[in-house]
Amino acid sequence: MAFRSPIRRRRDGSYTVDLGPNERELLVSMCDQMRDLLTSGDPSLVRLFPTPYGDDTERNEGYAALVVPELTERRLAALETVRSTAQATQLTAEELSAWMRSVNDVRLVLGTILDVDESGTTPSGDQDDADRYATYEYLGMLLELIVRAMAK
> What pLDDT, in 10s, does the model give residues 92-103?
999 999 999 999
Q: What is the mean pLDDT of residues 74-91?
A: 98
* Residue type (1 letter), 144: E
Flag whether 53 is in a domain.
yes
Flag whether 133 is in a domain.
yes
Q: How many domains does the chain have?
A: 1
Task: Please check the confidence at residue 123 and state whether its pLDDT lies above 70.
Answer: no
Flag whether 87 is in a domain.
yes
Flag whether 2 is in a domain.
no
Of 129 and 2, which is predicted with more confidence?
129
Q: What is the per-residue burial (b if ≥16 Cβ within 10 Å, else e) of 70-87?
A: eebeebbebbebbbebbe
Flag whether 1 is in a domain.
no
pLDDT of 1: 66
Which range among 42-46, 91-95, 121-125, 142-146 shows the weakest confidence by mean pLDDT?
121-125
Q: pLDDT, tens digit, for every residue of 11-57? A: 999 999 999 999 999 999 999 999 999 999 899 999 999 999 999 99
pTM summary value? 0.92
The β-bridge partners of 9 are 15
Quote the domain boundaries for residue 53: 7-151
Task: Please check the confidence at residue 121 and state whether its pLDDT lies above 70.
Answer: no
Which stretch of DSSP H or E encloses residue 96? helix 93-114
Q: What is the mean pLDDT of residues 114-138?
A: 82
